[in-house]
Amino acid sequence: MSEEGSAIRRRRSCPQCAYRFTTYERLEEVPLHVLKRSGGKEPFDRAKMIAGVQAAVKGRPVDALAIIDMAERIEDKLRLLGGDVTSSDVGHAVLDELRIVDEVAYMRFASVYKNFDDASDFKRELALLQKHSTARA
């Protein structure tokens, strides 16, 4: 195993000249595309998703490594949905992870993602968050 389990390293030798060399076998990933609300389609960009999460957790006690782990979980979850996912799928996956990691960051991300217009939007989302928190407890 190599590269944190994502590749298999093999030592080989040429049967004719006995030259030894190393090969790496990696799983070929299916490209992941995001279907935008406007109808466009673009490749999934983990860095773009991480930037959005970093903006939501700014000033919060969330470790940078936790953000990377979260991004990997989200991408893995999206890959299980298939080659094309909607921007809504991405947004909901981020919200699900942020709800667990930091509720303030969740509310920040939700306010931008769900286009909050006034205080009633925050109250409604907070009620949903509290309902979800008590269901977990």
Domain that holds residue 120: 31-136
Per DSSP bridges, beta strands 41-43 and 7-13 are: unpaired
**Phi/psi of residue 85, nearest 5 degrees:** -125, 160
In this structure, of 17-26, 75-84, 124-133, the range with the lowest mean pLDDT score is 124-133
Residue whose C-alpha is closest to residue 56's, from 98, 116, 119, 118: 98
Q: What is the model's pLDDT at position 6?
A: 66
Flag whether pLDDT at 4 surpasses 90: no
Q: Are 63 and 52 in contact (CB under 8 A)?
A: no
Question: The whole model's pTM is what?
Answer: 0.69
- CA–CA gap between residue 127 and residue 131 (Å, rounded): 6
Tokens of 77: 């979850």
pLDDT tens column, 27-66? 766 788 898 888 889 998 999 999 999 999 999 899 888 9
The domain total for the chain is 1
- CA–CA gap between residue 122 and residue 124 (Å, rounded): 5
Residue 21 lies in a domain: no
Residue 1 lies in a domain: no
Residue 17 lies in a domain: no
